[in-house]
Chain A
Amino acid sequence: GQNIDQPTEMTATEGAIVQINCTYQTSGFNGLFWYQQHAGEAPTFLSYNVLDGLEEKGRFSSFLSRSKGYSYLLLKELQMKDSASYLCAPMDSNYQLIWGAGTKLIIKP
């Protein structure tokens, strides 16, 4: 079956760094997306990894290891506006995104 595993909730301090881990199992693999979703809003695209390694984009970086079925999203210099849910979504062989429940990140001053 297809499965996503992320922590349900994480708490971090403003200005700090946080890493959100994701392990996955899919039928085939065509890359992995990270999305941010604020409460009551639709998801917005953060990053895409299809090859192993680290992709850096400003304060956000995403890492992928295909052999381990593992990815993480790294958020630096946390800001209060980063409080949101972060969704790890691998794409299967049918180019369909597989969604988990996401990780709710709470930023404290």
Chain B
Amino acid sequence: GAVVSQHPSWVICKSGTSVKIECRSLDFQATTMFWYRQFPKQSLMLMATSNEGSKATYEQGVEKDKFLINHASLTLSTLTVTSAHPEDSSFYICSASSGREPNEQFFGPGTRLTVL
């Protein structure tokens, strides 16, 4: 149980285009979903936290107009990287929590984004 999927697994796009990444909890309802970014050999960096039906809470330094997050249902959250640039190239990982103790986060497999 507690499976989280992400799509796509990897994507290559041209600078200036937008990319949408989907995160789905397959066998549980995720009251909270988290979006992380991880650069090579660095720690996970939390970008934003989203609760179903409400606006996402962004971490300091993360541009909410550039990284659009939608958590439309208890099983789906999307991250859209708008007007992507090469510096946005990274490993994007989502996680989901059911809200039940111990509030464990279940991670998706991640999406590797390369912006040319």
Task: Point out residues on A near B: beta carbons under 8 Å.
Answer: 30-31, 33, 35, 40-45, 48, 50, 87, 91, 95-97, 99-102
Contact A48 B104 (CB under 8 A): yes
Complex partner residue of B102 from A44, A48, A100, CB under 8 angstroms: A48
Contact A43 B109 (CB under 8 A): no
B49 within 8 A of A: yes
Which 8 residue pairs across A and B have the least CB separation, nearest first? A42-B107, A101-B43, A42-B110, A99-B44, A99-B43, A42-B93, A95-B103, A48-B102
Interface residues on B, range: 10 to 19
In the complex, 15 of the A-B residue pairs with CB atoms within 8 angstroms, ordered by the A residue number, are A30-B102, A30-B103, A33-B105, A40-B91, A40-B112, A42-B107, A42-B110, A43-B44, A43-B107, A48-B102, A48-B104, A87-B44, A100-B43, A101-B43, A102-B43
B28 within 8 A of A: no
Considering the complex, which residues of chain B in the window 23-51 have a beta carbon less than 8 Å from any beta carbon of chain A?
41-46, 49
Contact B43 A42 (CB under 8 A): no
CA A44 to CA B109, docked complex, whole Å: 9
CA A100 to CA B108, docked complex, whole Å: 19
CB 8 Å contact bits of B92-103 with A (1 = contact, 0 = none): 010000000011
**What residues of B have a CB within 8 angstroms of the CB of A43 in the complex?**
44, 93, 107
Closest Cβ–Cβ distance, residue A22 to chain B (whole Å): 13
CA A97 to CA B103, docked complex, whole Å: 10
